[in-house]
Structure 1
């Protein structure tokens, strides 16, 4: 049985609906697209590195506006990462709560690395 593929899975919740956004390691973070979240937010998780070594994790969250997306959170996580739990997942962000826009819309997310070699 081979080693699991390295990836980051983020559970993103808006308006009671949760979706999983997956990010695989990339060498160049710039072309990674943001994922639309119900037309209200854009969520962009990035894992820079490869299956052998994660160099950094980046997360960008944007509020959709009529003019253009507005950055409301930028986060960077660098190794060493926390220890994996019993299932082999590494909690990167913890549960995050973001509020933005005139109505203070709430976006909740948390991200875990999976398949990272010890």
Structure 2
């Protein structure tokens, strides 16, 4: 019985280490509007166009894309849109290119961003952290 338990434990440990070593980069973005915060998790894609934007408080939309496979994405882009009666209007776009430097807690990719838009200058705040990159 002890031998079986240690074998199962060893198998589980090997599976976890294999899973962790093959984990790719992930982008975590926190968006705040009107005191409410939500998080978006982005993984690499080959085509950025189908990636959806997310609603932020009914006033803004936010989209982040990480393009490229492997340990270093080819590029990362963030988009902030103002919701209008007819369609979302792009109010900020930012591009980030490698090399992305790994750190234990993840690379603070964007820093804290403040986007103001609309007739009464509504404020969207966001910050993105990149994790899982390799040099």
TM-score under structure 1 length normalisation = 0.92
Q: Which structure's residues are more often helix, by fraction?
A: 2
Aligned position for 2:29:
10
Question: Could you give the per-residue CA deviations for residues 22-81 of structure 1, whole angstroms, max 9, x where no partner exists?
Answer: 111000001001001111100000000123330000111100000111000011100112
For residue 36 of structure 1, the aligned residue among 38, 44, 55 is 55
Q: Secondary structure at the match of 2:127?
A: strand
Aligned position for 2:132:
115
Contact 2:76 2:97 in 1 (8 A): yes
CA distance in 2, matches of 1:23, 1:86: 19
Q: CA RMSD in A?
A: 1.2
Question: Could you give the per-residue CA deviations for residues 65-98 of structure 1, whole angstroms, max 9, x where no partner exists?
Answer: 00111000011100112x33332x0111000001
Contact 2:72 2:98 in 1 (8 A): no
Contact 1:59 1:76 in 2 (8 A): yes
CA distance in 2, matches of 1:45, 1:63: 15
Aligned length: 116
* Runs (5+) with no aligned partner, structure 2: 1-16
CA distance in 1, matches of 2:55, 2:35: 16
TM-score under structure 2 length normalisation = 0.81
* Runs (5+) with no aligned partner, structure 1: none
Q: Which structure's residues are more often strand, by fraction?
A: 1
- Deviation of 1:107 after TM superposition, in Å, equals 0.4
